[in-house]
Structure 1
Amino acid sequence: MRVVLAGSHGLLGTALTHELAQRGISAQRLVRRPARSPREIPWDPVLGRLNPADLAGVDAVINLGGASLARLPWTASYRRTIVASRVRPTALLARTLATMPDPPPVWLQASAVGFYGNRGDEILTETSEPGSGFLADLVRRWEAATAPAEEAGVRVVQLRTGSVALAAAGGSSSGLILRAIRMGVGGPLGPGTNYWSWITTADHAAAVAHLLTADVAGPVNLTAPHPATQREVIATLARALHRPAVMRVPATLLRLVLRDVADELLLSSQRAVPGALEDSGFRWQHPTIADAARWISAQD
């Protein structure tokens, strides 16, 4: 299988590159500079440059790119960067694939459970209606940008990744949480009753690799099958790391410091369940937060 991967150097892209290598799949990387080896393909999403000939004969394209949501503050300028870094490359890939006489048959495109907005304890499936807010609006535009490729017959999968990606070494989604716990100053953020749809980076990589050949198209919730409240996630991680988790941070303080980012990222609730992924036959290494915590503590 010949796979082309964008966003290969991020937390999820690094884990996926390793997973593909374990399966004997070597990925060519899309890079935003001149190629330095045959394993690289140059492109420029800002200027809209991607040579369709470079994708000829490719079996699948995977795009995990996007500016970090963990970078603060979200100024008006950085919000534009967040949007452009997702929508513009996705639209370029869609246009390129749509113009090819024989496009790659599969495109796995990053997305997020932020699509659903803040939904309390409502169980969210791939057929649930979109929510509201900055992230929900962004994800709608992000996913809509894939339309030309879908219309050209490409099997497009939108990878609605959980709000928290748990990595043994931390990472953009979980690094601050784990560092606070290891320092003994972890605890619930606000009431802690909001749901976090989480997934480990190992399961995320395995799921993406699985979807290369699974008979699935459209949105797929890339989450563990058992979403947990934020309070439960933090408490379970703290127990596994033998640290306390009693330093509650008031929601008012979070909003004072982080403004609306607190509600969009930390206090928002998405109880998303991975129905499409489960129906496709995928099996998790870490289906519960206790499993994930043991995996993290074993490498601590």
Structure 2
Amino acid sequence: MRVAVAGSSGFIGTALVAGLESAGHDVLRLVRHRPAAPDEAQWDPEQGVVPLARMAGVEAVVHLGGINVGSRRWTRRFKKQLHHSRIRSTTVLASALTGLSTRPRVFVSASAMGFYGPDRGREVLDEESEAGDGFLARLCQDWEHAAAPARAADIAVCHPRFGLVIGPGGGALKPLLPLFRLGLGGHFGNGEQFWSPVSLHDVVRALRFMIEQHGCVGPYNVCCPAPVSNGEFSRVLAHELHRPRLLPVPGIGLQIALGEASSELLGSLRILPTRLTEAGFTFDHEDVREIIRAAL
């Protein structure tokens, strides 16, 4: 199968391209720089430029682009950049696909667990749960809506709502490892908030599932079947690193250091991958210990 991937140089995108190629798929990487390899094609979402000629015969398109929400403090300006980087690129790509003489069968356009809001306590959340409130919830709703042109053209649109992606060299584990390796790690706030992690390995497998399985459409929570408290996550991480788990990081300290973005660490989202498992997908890493071991 010929698959086009936007955001192919990111943490998830790099792993996805490798996974697709290892499975025998022909990958076209949509890049913003001048192409440096035969499998690259330049696009410019700001100018609305998409290389349609290079995309002839593409059966699936995956869009993973967008500025990292955790890359800096959430100032008003940065939140506008987060919104624009996702909505503009998704709208341009989804609209361009409708102009292909033979349209792709499926468009996998990223979303995130922020769809459900910053904090839902102990409520069990699946794809039928209502959207939450707050900046990320509104961002994710706009992000998913931006793919509307593709849906209107009868392209199957899938929205993987990523949980906390954990893998070697990046993702949610990256900022935690230095402290935990020094034996200085602890849980955040009271540690009772639910986290919904997923291994990078299973993220790639889930994206391939949406691409390869005919009939996939709509939102899919991409997180392991066993959400865990932040306290348990930190306990397992410290144990796997053979380090002690020290005092918790006070919630007020995170709020001062990170501002509004602290809600990502202190909020509770207990999310289940209901639609994926009902569709027949199985996770290789089903719980937090397996996820952390795979990353380490």
Taking structure 1 as the reference length, the TM-score comes to 0.94
Matches within 5 A, 1:1-300: 1-117=1-117, 118-162=119-163, 164-169=164-169, 171-214=170-213, 215-263=215-263, 265-297=264-296
CA distance in 1, matches of 2:51, 2:29: 14
SS in 2 for 1:47: coil
Task: Report sequence identity in percent.
Answer: 38
After TM superposition, give the deviation of residue 100 of structure 1 in Å: 2.9
Q: Which structure 1 segments of 5+ residues have no match? A: none
CA distance in 1, matches of 2:37, 2:250: 51
* Deviation digits for residues 134-174 of structure 1 (CA, Å, limit 9, x no counterpart): 10000000000011101101011001000x111133x1422
After TM superposition, give the deviation of residue 296 of structure 1 in Å: 3.2
CA distance in 2, matches of 1:242, 1:124: 33
The farther-off stretch of 253-262 and 47-56 is: 47-56
CA distance in 2, matches of 1:201, 1:108: 17
* Deviation digits for residues 80-122 of structure 1 (CA, Å, limit 9, x no counterpart): 1111111111001111112334211111111001000021111
CA distance in 2, matches of 1:283, 1:211: 13
After TM superposition, give the deviation of residue 219 of structure 1 in Å: 0.3
Contact 1:64/1:110 (8 A) holds in 2: yes
CA distance in 1, matches of 2:212, 2:34: 31
Taking structure 2 as the reference length, the TM-score comes to 0.96
CA distance in 2, matches of 1:213, 1:4: 13
The farther-off stretch of 176-185 and 123-132 is: 176-185
CA distance in 2, matches of 1:257, 1:290: 29
**Which 4+ residue blocks in structure 1 deviate beyond 3 angstroms?**
none
Letter in 1 for 2:144: E
Letter in 2 for 1:125: D
Letter in 2 for 1:257: A
